[in-house]
Chains A and B, each alone.
Chain A
Amino acid sequence: AAGVIQSPRHLIKEKRETATLKCYPIPRHDTVYWYQQGPGQDPQFLISFYEKMQSDKGSIPDRFSAQQFSDYHSELNMSSLELGDSALYFCASSSPEGSTAFFGQGTRLTVV
């Protein structure tokens, strides 16, 4: 069965650079969530989209922005990267019929 696809799987950027993370939800899923997980930390909710509109906002820095496109894929744009942005970034998706979220394998961002 198709799962949530995230790309790239690994990304290395320098401080002050920009990064774009992509998430392709499971087909027919209309909700996408973004989470950040630092080393040894639980996933922290960043932002979510439902039917291409922002539906909820968590602890997302102002330097980050995201959107959901007409095909329901989502992109997380991160600018002016800082060392502290190094983390695993997970995307999850859910459908209107379901109440659970399914996660991708994550993008490991390293800022050097």
Chain B
Amino acid sequence: QKEVEQDPGPLSVPEGAIVSLNCTYSNSAFQYFMWYRQYSRKGPELLMYTYSSGNKEDGRFTAQVDKSSKYISLFIRDSQPSDSATYLCAMSAGTGGYQKVTFGTGTKLQVIP
């Protein structure tokens, strides 16, 4: 079993829809949770990161972490065609010293105009 599982998608939604992207994990040591957006043939771009449980909002994007359920989500409101990309969740155990970042498999999102 992988440490991080991500809904494989692909996901196709109409413009303006609310998108929900999700990951589950098994390692209870994970404390930092990231979402990366990767356009085709580009490097993953850090979109949001959160610490421990709770919500974080940035414009149209909201990241949620539920450590009790080992479940994280990224919500995209009013989705735009420019949001079409692969979204990768990632996690690490903490700060200080070496901290390996573990990725999910990625969900490919297509927003149709």
Chain B residues near A43 (CB, 8 Å)?
44, 88, 103
Whether A42 contacts B96 by the Cβ 8 Å rule is no
Q: How many A-B residue pairs have CB under 8 A?
A: 67
Minimum CB–CB distance for A22 against chain B, Å: 15
Q: Which residue of B lies closest to A55 (CB)?
A: B98
Chain A residues near B43 (CB, 8 Å)?
4, 90, 103-106
- The total of chain B residues at the interface (CB under 8 A) is 28
Q: Which residue of B lies closest to A6 (CB)?
A: B43
Minimum CB–CB distance for B4 against chain A, Å: 10
Q: Is A83 an interface residue, CB under 8 A from the partner?
A: no
The dominant DSSP class at the B interface is loop
Minimum CB–CB distance for A43 against chain B, Å: 5
Whether A94 contacts B103 by the Cβ 8 Å rule is no
Chain A 78-99 against B: per-residue CB contact (8 Å), 1 yes, 0 no? 0000000000101010101111
Q: Is A33 an interface residue, CB under 8 A from the partner?
A: yes
CB pairs A–B below 8 angstroms (16 shown): A31-B99, A88-B41, A92-B101, A97-B95, A98-B95, A99-B31, A99-B32, A99-B94, A100-B34, A100-B46, A100-B49, A100-B92, A101-B92, A101-B101, A105-B42, A106-B42
